[in-house]
Structure 1
Amino acid sequence: MHTLDLAVIVGYLLLMPVLGVLLAGRQRSSSDYFVGGRNLPWWAVCFSVVATETSALTVISVPTVAYLGSFTYLQLAIGYLIGRIVVAFVLLPRYFRGNLVSAYAFLGKRFGGGLQGATSVTFLVTRLLADGVRLFATAIPVKILLATFGVEAEFWQIILGLSLFTVVYTYLGGIRAVIWVDLVQMALYTAGGFVAVALLAGRLPDGWFSGLVEAGKLQFLDFGSHVLTNQYAFVTAVLGGAVFAMASHGADQLMVQRLV
Structure 2
Amino acid sequence: MELPLIDLIVFLVYMLAIVIFGASFYYKKRSSSDFITGGGRLPSWAIGMSIFATFVSSISFLALPGNAYLSNWNGFVFSLSIPIAAILAVRFFVPLYRGIKSPSAYYYLETRFGGWARTYASVCYLLTQLARMGAIMYLLALPMNVMFGWSIPVIIIVTGISVLIYSIMGGFAAVIWTDAIQGIILISGALACLGIIFFSMPEGPGQVFTIAAAHDKFSLGSFGLSLSEATFWVILIYGLFINLQNFGIDQNYVQRYLSARTDAEAVKSTLLGSLLYVPVSLLFFFIGTALFAYYQAMPELLPEAYREGEQADKVFPYFIVSGLPVGMTGLLIASIFAAGMSTISTSINSSATIILTDHYKKYITPEVKESSEMKILVIASLVMGLLSITVAIAFNGVESALDAWWALSAIFSGGILGLFLLGFIGKNIRRSYAAIGVLLGVLVIGWMSLSPVVFEEGAAFRSTFHANLTIVFGTLVIFLTGFLLSAWANRK
TM-score normalised per structure 2: 0.49
Q: Is the 8 A contact 2:97 2:254 kept in 1?
A: no
- Give per-residue Cα distances to partners, 1:112-158, cap 9 Å, x unaligned: 222212211111111101110100011123335554xxxxx421121
Runs of at least 4 residues off by over 4 Å: none
Distance 1:21 1:208, change over 3 A: closer
State the TM-score, normalized to the length of structure 1: 0.89
Aligned pairs (5 A) from 1:88-103: 88-103=90-105
User: Structure 1 pair 179/4, CA: closer, same or farther in 2 (3 Å)?
Assistant: farther
Match of 1:150 in 2: none
8 A Cα contact 1:26 1:32, kept in partner: no
Q: Higher mean Cα deviation, 224-233 or 175-184?
A: 224-233
Alignment of 1:93-172 (within 5 A): 93-144=95-146, 146-147=148-149, 153-172=150-169
Question: 1: CA distance between counterparts of 2:4 and 2:29?
Answer: 38
How far residue 106 of structure 1 moved from its aligned partner, in angstroms, is 1.8
Deviation at 1:223?
A: 6.0
Deviation at 1:249, TM superposition (A): 2.1
- Aligned AA (1:157): V
Equivalent AA in structure 2 for residue 211 of structure 1: I
Measure the CA separation in 2 of the matches of 1:129 and 1:43. Answer: 29
Shift of 1:26: 7.8
Residue pairs, 1:214-253, within 5 angstroms: 214-220=214-220, 222=221, 224-233=223-232, 235-253=233-251
Higher Cα Rg: structure 1 or 2?
Answer: 2
- 2:248 and 2:7 mapped to 1: Cα distance? 36
Query: What secondary structure does 1:23 align onto?
Result: coil
Q: Which amino acid aligns with 1:226?
A: L
> Helix, strand or coil for the counterpart of 1:244?
helix
Bigger shift: 50-59 or 23-32?
23-32
Contact 2:98 2:257 in 1 (8 A): no
Report the alpha carbon displacement of residue 211 of structure 1 after superposing the two structures with TM: 2.3
Question: What does residue 254 of structure 1 align with?
Answer: 252
Structure 1: which amino acid aligns with 2:250?
Answer: D
CA contact (8 A) 1:6 1:145 kept: no
1:182 pairs with 2:184 = no
3-state SS in 2 of match to 1:100: coil
Identity of aligned residues (%): 27
Aligned residues: 253
Where structure 1 has 5 or more consecutive residues not aligned to the other structure, the ranges are 148-152
Partner residue in 1 for 2:63: 61
CA–CA distance in structure 1, aligned partners of residues 85 and 254 of structure 2: 14
Separation in 2, partners of 1:71, 1:154: 33
**180 and 218 in structure 1: CA distance in 2 versus 1, 3 angstrom threshold:** same
Larger RCO: 1 or 2 (CA < 8 Å, sep 6+): 1
